[in-house]
Chains A and B, each alone.
Chain A
Amino acid sequence: MRQGSPTVSFLSLFIISFFVGTELLADTSYQALLADEENGADWLSYSGGYRSHRFSPLNQVTPENVNQLKVLWAYQMQPTGINGAGLQETTPLVADDIMYLTESPSSVTALDARTGRMLWHFVPDISNEVLNIGFPRINRGVALVDGSVYVATLDGRLFALDAGTGAVRWQTRVADNAVGFSLTLAPLALDGKIIVGVSGAEAGVRGFVDAYDANSGNRLWRTFTVPAPGEPGSETWQGDAWQTGGGSTWLTGSFDPELDLLYWTTGNPAPDWNGDLRPGDNLFTCSVLALNPDTGELRWHFQYTPHDTHDWDANQIPVLVDGEFNGQQRRLLALANRNAFYYLLDRETGEFLLGEEYSYQTWAERIGDDGRPIVLANTDPTREGNVVWPSLQGATNWFSPSYNPRTEQFFVSNRRMGAMYFKADVDYEPGTPFLGGGEQAFDGDNASGAIVALDVMSGARQWEFELQTPPWSGVMATGGGLVFGSSNEGNFFALDARDGQALWNFNTGAHIRTNPMGFAVDGKQRIAILGGQTLFVFGLE
Chain B
Amino acid sequence: MLTELLPGAVLRRLLQGCLPALLCLAIPPSTAQDLDNGEQLFRTLCARCHGILGEGGEGPSLKRARLDHAPDDETLLSVISAGIPGTGMPGARQLSGGDARDVAAYVRSLGQLPEEPVPGDALAGQQIYETIGNCASCHIANGVGTGIGPELTDVGLRRNAAYLRQSVLSPDADQPRVVDRFRGTLNAFLTVRIVTERGAYEGMRINEDAFSVQMRDITGRIYSFEKADLISYEKAFGHSFMPGYSAALNEQQTDDLVSYLMSLKGENR
Question: Which residues does A use to contact B, with CB under 8 Å?
Answer: 83-84, 87, 128-137, 199, 201-202, 248, 250, 267-268, 272, 311, 313, 315, 383-385, 392-393, 397-398, 420, 422, 424-426, 431-435, 438-440, 443-445, 447, 465-470, 487-491, 493, 502, 505, 507, 510-511, 513
> In which size bucket is the chain B interface?
35 or more
Closest chain A residue to B46, Cβ basis? A440
0/1 string, B37-70, CB within 8 A of A gives 1 = 1001100110010000000000000000000000
Cα–Cα distance between A383 and B45 once the two chains are bound (Å): 12
Q: Which of A129, A311, A465, A467 contacts B12 (CB 8 A)?
A: A129
Q: Decide: A502 and B210 in contact? CB cutoff 8 A.
A: yes
- Nearest to A434 among chain B residues (CB) is B96
Interchain CB contact under 8 A, B99 and A432: no
- Interfacial chain B residues near A505, Cβ < 8 Å: 210-211
Q: Mark B128-166, 1 if CB is under 8 A from A, else 0.
A: 000000000000000000000000000000000000000
7 sample A-B contacts, Cβ–Cβ < 8 Å, listed by A number: A135-B3, A199-B1, A383-B40, A398-B3, A424-B40, A444-B184, A444-B186
Q: Is B9 interfacial (CB-CB < 8 Å)?
A: yes
Pick the contact of A445: B9, B10, B190 (CB < 8 A). B190
- Taking CB atoms, residues of chain B closer than 8 Å to A268 are 1-2
Q: How far is the CA of A483 from the CA of B65 in the complex (A)?
A: 54
Q: Which residues of chain B have C-beta atoms less than 8 A from A426's C-beta?
A: 96
Residues of chain B with a CB closer than 8 A to A438's CB: 44-45, 92, 94-95
Q: Is the CB of B210 within 8 A of A136?
A: no
Q: Does B185 contact A (CB under 8 A)?
A: yes
A507–B186 Cα distance when bound, in Å, is: 18
Residue of A nearest to B181 (CB): A511
Residue B237, interface by CB 8 Å: yes
Per-residue A-contact encoding for B74-112, CB less than 8 Å = 1, 0 else: 000000000000000010101111110000000000000
> When the two chains form their complex, are residues A445 and B210 in contact, meaning their CB atoms are under 8 A apart?
no
Q: Is B16 an interface residue, CB under 8 A from the partner?
A: yes
Q: Are B97 and A488 in contact (CB under 8 A)?
A: no
* Chain A residues within 8 Å of B44, by CB: 384-385, 420, 422, 438, 440
Report the minimum CB–CB distance from B2 to chain A (whole Å).
4
Chain A residue nearest in CB terms to B2: A134
Distance in Å: Cβ of B235 to nearest Cβ of chain A = 7
Q: Which residue of chain A lies nearest to B211 when distances are taken between CB atoms in the complex?
A: A505
Q: Is the CB of B209 within 8 A of A131?
A: no
- Known A-B contacts A83-B8, A383-B40, A488-B184; the reply to A135 vs B90 at CB < 8 A is no
> Once bound together, how far apart are the Cα atoms of A502 and B185, in whole Å?
24
Q: Nearest 9 A-B pairs (CB), nearest first?
A: A469-B184, A433-B96, A489-B209, A511-B182, A438-B94, A443-B185, A134-B2, A444-B185, A136-B5
Smallest beta-carbon distance A170→chain B, Å:
27
Interface contact B7-A131, CB-CB below 8 Å: yes
CB-based contact A136/B3 at 8 Å: yes
B6 within 8 A of A: yes
Which residues of A sit under 8 angstroms from B90, Cβ to Cβ?
Answer: 443
Instruction: Decide yes or no: A468 and B94 within 8 Å by CB, A131-B7, A134-B3, A392-B2 being known contacts.
Output: no
In the complex, chain B residues whose CB is within 8 Å of the CB of A84:
5, 7-9
Chain A residue numbers with a CB within 8 Å of B12 are 83, 128-129
State whether A467 touches B2 (Cβ < 8 A): no
B221 at interface (Cβ–Cβ under 8 A)?
no
CB atoms of B190 and A432 under 8 A apart = no
Find out whether the CB atom of A467 lies under 8 angstroms from the CB atom of B210: yes
How distant is B5 from chain A, measured CB to nearest CB, in Å?
A: 5
Cα–Cα distance between A424 and B8 once the two chains are bound (Å): 22
Shortest Cβ distance from B50 into chain A, in angstroms?
Answer: 13
Q: Which residues of B contact A447 (CB under 8 A)?
A: 184
Task: Contact check, B210 vs A311: say whether CB atoms are below 8 A apart.
Answer: no
**A439-B4 Cα distance, complex, nearest whole Å:** 10
The answer to whether A311 touches B1, judged by C-beta atoms less than 8 angstroms apart, is: yes
Counting chain A CB atoms within 10 Å of each CB, which of B1, B8, B90, B235 scores highest? B1
A132 / chain B contacts, CB cutoff of 8 Å: 7, 9
Find out whether the CB atom of B13 lies under 8 angstroms from the CB atom of A445.
no
Whether B98 and A432, one on each chain, are in contact in the complex, defined by CB atoms closer than 8 angstroms, is yes
Chain A residues whose CB sits within 8 angstroms of the CB of B228 once the complex forms:
502
Interchain CB contact (< 8 A) of B210 among A87, A199, A383, A489 = A489
- State the Cβ distance, B92 to closest chain A Cβ, in Å: 7
